[in-house]
Amino acid sequence: MAWIWLVATVAAAVGAYVAGWPAWSGYRSRESRDLNTERYLAWRGRADRRPVSSTREGMTVAERRRMWIAAGLGTAAVFCLVGFMTVT
């Protein structure tokens, strides 16, 4: 019966990856795109002269939700792994 814990661990870990990776990669690509735009405008001499604190938006609501789901599934995977270790 210990294999059930191991299967649950793998399933939760895969679910965390599937839920979290698209949100994280979308966030990072948007950050990179914004930084490249700022660099291009500065290179062309069309950058804003006044100091701007930050133009970064952060994660969207959907991305944040997916990251919370991934964190929950990751926690479940760790719990199942501990369960597997204690049963065997």
C-alpha pair distances (Å), 83 with each of 10, 13, 28, 41, 53: 13, 14, 34, 54, 47
- Identity of residue 85: M
DSSP three-state, residue 8? helix
DSSP string, 39-77: HHHHHHT-S-SS----------HHHHHHHHHHHHHHHHH
Q: Please state whether the predicted TM-score (pTM) of the whole model is above 0.85.
A: no
Residue 42 — very low, low, confident or very high, per pLDDT cuts 50/70/90? confident
Residue 75 — very low, low, confident or very high, per pLDDT cuts 50/70/90? very high
Count how many Cα atoms sit within 13 Å of the Cα of residue 8 in the half-sphere of its side chain.
Answer: 16
User: In the predicted model, is pLDDT for residue 56 greater than 70?
Assistant: no
Residue 19 — very low, low, confident or very high, per pLDDT cuts 50/70/90? very high
